[in-house]
Amino acid sequence: MKKTSFALADFVPYLLNRAGVRIGLSFARDIEPLGATLPMWRVMVALWENGNQRLGDIAERTSIDISTLSRLLVGLQQKQLVVRSRSGSDGRALSVNLTEKGRTLTERIIPIASHYEEVATRGLSRSDLRLLKRMLIKLFSNMHTFDEEYALRQKARPRKKRSRHD
């Protein structure tokens, strides 16, 4: 049987994860004394950058699922870093915004985040850095294919017949 050629050290998902986890753990360690976690930071900087937003928009922008985001927002609210309110015409929709305390904390963390990006990309030219960012955006975009494939597999799966006792 022919052995398939595969090298973990050359596997793009592994390399992305390896770099991301290393950066994320170090960054989280450095912002923890300020009372922030990495997921908190992602939410706060998304709000700082884009202002008042609905939960779905924050979830999409930060890649945090809605149920996790809801729990995270409770913690941010308890720390008085965000406020939640009913959104405009749709009284059911919640919108979130930073408080002044949340804005101040976010602005304290931005230089730390910028330093992490600078260190992580050291040795790359500006054009290489722009290319890297475009490629990462493209890789993320390509992953929607798996969502579509999963949905098709779910539709094609035979449904289990339910008995009267289920």
- Taking only the tens place, the pLDDT of each residue in 21-47 is 999 999 999 999 999 999 999 999 999
DSSP strand E in the chain: where?
53-54, 82-86, 94-98
User: If we measure between CA atoms, which residue out of 113, 102, 93, 109 comes closest to residue 72?
Assistant: 102
> Is the torsion defined by CA of 87, 92, 98, 100 positive or negative?
positive
What pLDDT score does 3 carry?
82
Q: Do residues 87 and 93 lie in contact, with contact meaning Cβ atoms separated by under 8 Å?
A: yes
What pLDDT score does 164 carry?
60
Strand partners, 97: 83
Alpha-carbon span 157 to 34, nearest angstrom: 48
Angle, helix 66-78 to helix 55-62, in steps of 10 degrees? 110
What pLDDT score does 124 carry?
97
What pLDDT score does 165 carry?
61
Given CATH 1.10.150.120, say whether it is the number of domain 10-120. Answer: no
Calculate the dihedral angle through the C-alpha atoms of 33, 34, 38, 44, rounding to the nearest 10 degrees.
170
- Going from N- to C-terminal start, the domains of the chain cover 10-120, 125-157
What pLDDT score does 162 carry?
61
Alpha-carbon span 48 to 104, nearest angstrom: 10
What pLDDT score does 147 carry?
85
Residue 7 tokens, joined: 């090298």
With a cut of 50, list the residues of the chain below it in pLDDT.
Answer: none
What's this model's pTM, rounded to 2 decimal places? 0.83
User: Is residue 84 classed as helix, strand or coil in its secondary structure?
Assistant: strand
